[in-house]
Amino acid sequence: MNGVYRRLGKFYRPFLPLLFVSLGLLVVTTALGLAYPYFLKTIVNQVILQHQYGELWWLTGAILLAAFIQGFFNFGQQYLGQLFGAKTAFDLRNSLYKKLNHQPFRYYDNVHSGDLMSRMTADLDAFRMFLASGINNLVSLVLTVGMGIGLMLTMNWILALVITCLVPFLAATALRFDKQIHPTFQRIRRTLGTLNSGVQENVMGMRTVKSFAKEGFEIDKFNQRNDLYFAANMDATKLWRKFFPLIELTGNIGVVLILMVGGWLVMTKQMNLGDLVAFLSVVWYIIGPMSQLGFFLNNWTQATAAGERLLEIIESPDELAAEKQGYQGKLTGRVEFKDVTIRYGEIEVLKNVSFVAEPGETVALLGLTGSGKTSLVSLISRFYDAGEGEVLIDGVNVKDWDRETLRRQIGVVFQEPFLFSTTIFSNIAYGRPDATEHDVEKAAGIADAKEFIDNLPEGYYTLVGERGMGLSGGQKQRVALARAIVLNPSILILDDATSAVDMETEYEIQQSLQKVMAGRTTFIIAHRVSSLKRADKILVLDGGRIVDVGTHDELLQREGLYRQIFDMQFQDFASMNKVPVATGTDGSWRG
């Protein structure tokens, strides 16, 4: 069997008994189908030619009984075949979803979500359909042709030889068709994945599209991808249209030859007319399945191409699932970086970074865009691993910690918060399913989200739209902040978590966070200097390196990057407010 099906065998082998029973019923239905030529032979030779009309009743009754039994067994074999395919697809779908959830962050840096959705739906369904009906169709074809030729040999070996001579030609044609069509179906699957990715990206970015009036550009881009998908399908159609008429023509030639040779045998009294009619019915009986050979190869090649795309996920390295259980324990929150370097491809994002954050300290990170701030905090939760150096938490290398234990004690709020299409309550309690209403409301209060949640139609049980639609950017960010707070984490990471709120709200949130941050090691990434003033330690990054370290007051006394950023923001504030402004040594704004 094709390597794709062998490698995916672990998903369908447990359900092979269903397939075997289905194939057993198929043997019965095929054999019953070959009983009809016998009835036709008897009707022609005895009822019509010999005028034995009394036998017509039991013959028609036997035909009806055979049809009933055949229909019953046919239903059973189709049902079991579909059940075999559905159960396999169920396990395969679960395995694919589990595999996607076990992939590290960098896996999603290089894949398109629309293409993954295409694999989970269209590709999986193509594979399921082949298992559910394609295998039965193949076995049915082999049984029908094999039994049919065997029956024809018992009827008349000369006519059987005529038909048998056509079989090698049909097989050669089918193999040639499969060789040509398989690359085409691979291209169809690939272009469909690209098309789906484009649609999903467009829908998610619709506000951006409309804000820049780029509807026409996006439509043109979609049309180009749609053209590629259409062209791939048309190439497959052209190949199929050449193959199917050839199969049908071959079958019709076989019928013509049988009529010619059979007619001559009847006229020379070497064969009865009823035998010729029965023989022709057998020929038509096997031509039907043989004419469907194109459909079978169509399903086979589509399923093979789809299986190859599914295997790309199934056989991708499963780093998270393969990890041995690591160190488990309660975090105290001491974080140490020792000469850490991280690369994305050939680009060094962090270079020889070293620092220590003691338990309960608040460490702020400031730097220009692309300086490596987010990459640095991503190493703490093991979203990525350092290429060189060590990241230690409580003296243990993060690579030796049990990943789940580690992440359950680290609260992270990303710059772009993601909310699920469920209730506010479920979003806040996402990382802690056992959280009570009191826990959720307390976390929402600290995140300054309680007031706007209480004003929603259903309060905490208000459903939010996809990706948090229906809430403002600041509201989504506060819900995400509450989601991190309710974990009661030992380490809190705020990646520009107040960027979407105004300065007044930011001040109120920071006042509330002072209580939460007490006793926790907190890392704050912010672009506003005002957000960093209370930090115990500020790391100033530039080009992936720590270029300065100190408190707010200490850094203001130096003519470094921190002072430059501070002065820039100070001047912007003065310009926007159109007032003379000076600063105190504590960095506070004074009019």
Residue 202 lies in a domain: yes
Instruction: Spell out the SS3 assignment of 211-268.
Output: HCCCHHHHHHHHHHHHHHHHHHHHHHHHHHHHHHHHHHHHHHHHHHHHHHHHHHHHHC
Residue 207, domain extent: 3-316
Residue 226 lies in a domain: yes
Residue 511 lies in a domain: no
What is the CATH classification number for the domain harbouring 25? Answer: 1.20.1560.10
Residue 450 lies in a domain: no
Enter the pTM of the model. Answer: 0.71
Give per-residue pLDDT as tens, 12-23: 999 999 999 999
CB neighbour list of residue 51: distance below 8 Å, 6 or more residues apart = none
What pLDDT score does 22 carry? 92
Instruction: Spell out the SS3 assignment of 498-532.
Output: CCCCCHHHHHHHHHHHHHHHCCCEEEEECCCHHHC
Give per-residue pLDDT as tens, 532-583: 878 889 999 888 898 889 888 888 888 888 888 888 776 655 455 544 444 4
What pLDDT score does 392 carry? 92
Distances (CA, A) of 393 to 329, 382, 398, 410, 538: 11, 11, 6, 11, 19
- Pick out the chain residues at pLDDT < 70: 1-2, 45-56, 171, 174-175, 178, 182, 200-201, 203-214, 288, 290-295, 319-324, 466-469, 497-502, 504-509, 511-512, 515, 570-591
Residue 284 lies in a domain: yes
DSSP 462: P
| 8, 311 contact by CB (below 8 A) | yes
- Full DSSP string of 303-357: HHHHHHHHHHHHTS--HHHHPPP-B-------EEEEEEEEEETTEEEEEEEEEEE
How far is Cα 412 from Cα 523, in angstroms, rounded to an integer? 10
How far is Cα 89 from Cα 9, in angstroms, rounded to an integer? 12
* Radius of gyration for the alpha carbons in the chain, expressed in angstroms and rounded: 36
Q: What is the maximum alpha-carbon separation in the chain?
A: 122
Residue 390 lies in a domain: no
Say which residue the tokens 């497959």 belong to: 236
- Number of Cβ atoms within 10 Å of the Cβ of 113: 13
Residue 454 lies in a domain: no
| Burial environment of residue 199 by CB neighbours within 10 A (0 to 12, 13 to 18, 19 or more) | middle
User: How many separate domains does the chain show?
Assistant: 1
Residue 448 lies in a domain: no
Residue closest to 403 by CA, chosen among 483, 486, 328, 337: 328
Residue closest to 128 by CA, chosen among 188, 96, 95, 83: 83
